[in-house]
Amino acid sequence: MFALTGKAAVVTGAGSGIGEAIATLFARQGAHVMVVDVEAQSADRTVERIRRGGGRADAFTCNVADGGAVGEAFDAIDATTDQLDILVNNAGIAHVGSLAATTEADLDRVYAVNVKGVYHCAQSALTRMLARGGGVILNMSSITALVGVADRFAYSMSKGAVLAMTMSIALDYMKQNIRCNCICPARIHTPFVDQFVARHYAGREQEVLAQLAAYQPMGRMGRADEVAALALYLCSDEAAFVTGQAYPIDGGVLVA
């Protein structure tokens, strides 16, 4: 079960964290993974780890907010493989701030990456999937698309848009054998979280990390490999009857 043998998958933001975990797991399950990241060194590191484990992967550098750069990246992917079966839109950025504390520049920056980035990559993948007779698009939304979270105005806006795009893509293309779902994680403990906390809460790291863990009723943050396992299910043939859905992975947030 959950084999991806013979499939080609594009994973954005795969240089670290959740994206790296998804790319690594997909490769372990047999997929040829196209590792896309804005930082070339990060993408290369993920590819090196996958290859050391016996998997197939290639690295591509791309800022998903730039439509031209996305087009070039997918053209480069075409030169590497003649198929595209799976797209995981994982690349994204965070922002902390209420409405009053969010500048127009902040809003535009988050929108460009988290919303337009999904649009650019999904549109590029869609053309190729339609030509091949189908495929799977998985978007990374957030628990903030389903419930209110304090001081996440711009981020929540962007992830709500991702949820809406997911349902729209699923509805428009299910007759063409294209499935589209999204994952809505609560707080996931990744290197990005550690760096963010160190940068903004110097001297209070352990206190803030404990607060982030306590937000989930289970009393901890999620792990990147747990999100990757859910992504694997949704992109596998075992989920062939699943489309247009938002899957929380939240440590009990929605039932508390």
Please report, for residues 16, 67, 93, 152, 165, the alpha-carbon distance to residue 100 in angstroms, rounded to integers and kept in the order given: 31, 30, 20, 11, 26
Q: Of all helices (H) and strands (E), which one includes residue 51?
A: helix 40-52
Phi-psi category of residue 6: left, alpha or beta, with phi > 0 → left and psi -120 to 50 → alpha: left
CA dihedral sign of residues 245, 17, 204, 200: negative
Segments of the chain assigned E as strands: 8-12, 32-37, 56-61, 86-89, 135-140, 178-185, 188-189, 222-223, 246-249
Which tokens in the block code for residue 7? 């499939």
**Alpha-carbon torsion (116, 122, 127, 130), positive or negative:** negative
- Catalytic residue set: 155
First to last CA, the chain: 33
